Amino acid sequence: MLQIEQVHAGYGKVEVLHGVSLHVNASECVALVGANGAGKSTLLKCICGLIPITAGSITFEGQRINGLSGHAIVRRGITMCPEGRQVFPEMSVLENLEMGAHTRHDAEQASDIEQMLDLFPVLRQRIRQQAGTLSGGEQEMLAIARALMSRPRLCIFDEPSLGLAPKIVQEVEETLARIKAMGTTILLVEQSAAMALRLSDRAYVFEAGEIVLQGTGAELQNHPEVSKAYLGY
């Protein structure tokens, strides 16, 4: 579904990605694991059209998407749930969900909102509440639901557990597992490598803008370098 070939990118004169290649198959959950500053979030921004690549290519369902606007990429079927949640704080929960469907012109948005409220019951209780007044965990659930409202074929999650209490982190993991079970293709960057590897079918390990290891989630959980550097044992 997603093919990244020898991508180079960065900020100004500083190159962050040095020839990254990876792929994501339909219905897979693929995780990107690595230390802060390794280039994971930069790659996600490249996929979503938020920063340009300087070399290489990004194709989605056989069509090249690098060079397209972020809006056009959403229309192609890619949505990102961003780091830090970034809900619209002055808007209600309902209005945030409606914003997630802003590229759609079908008659099924209301039923999809109901589906999201069934998936995240706490949002139903807060439906008229301003998003900025929700707890961090509730905002994360809203950000995930908003991303799903576009009916993405590929949903990208950037650090969904960042800054959340351990109990809420577990809820986020369970939520991602349910989304995966629904057949949604997932590309996941997550500070908790243990969570990412448990959820993922395959994973790539980033170091200094390059991929240094890849394998199934189970293989990397048992890899001595990964367990020592990212899993704490």
Residue 221: which CATH number? Answer: 3.40.50.300
Beta carbons of 196 and 188 less than 8 angstroms apart: yes
DSSP helix/strand/coil, 207? strand
Which residues in the chain show pLDDT less than 70?
A: 232-233
Q: For position 106, what pLDDT does the model report?
A: 83
* Total of domains in the chain: 2
**Tell me, what's the pLDDT at 57?**
98
Q: What angle is formed at CA 10 by the lines to CA 45 and CA 195, rounded to 5 degrees?
A: 45
H-state helical runs in the chain:
40-47, 70-76, 93-100, 109-119, 121-125, 136-148, 166-181, 193-199, 217-221, 224-226
156 with 227, same domain: the answer is yes
Residue 107 lies in a domain: yes
**Pairwise CA distance, residues 87 & 131, whole Å:** 7
Gap between the Cα atoms of 69 and 34, Å rounded: 27
pLDDT value at position 233?
55
Whether 131 and 172 map to the same domain: the answer is no
Quote the domain boundaries for residue 133. Answer: 89-151
Residue 232: predicted pLDDT: 62
Question: Residue 82 falls within a domain, yes or no?
Answer: no
Residue 203 lies in a domain: yes
Same domain, 56 and 157: yes
123: three-class secondary structure by DSSP: helix
- 55: in domain: yes
pLDDT score at 37: 86
Query: Would you state the pLDDT for residue 231?
Result: 74
Domain-embedded: residue 50: yes
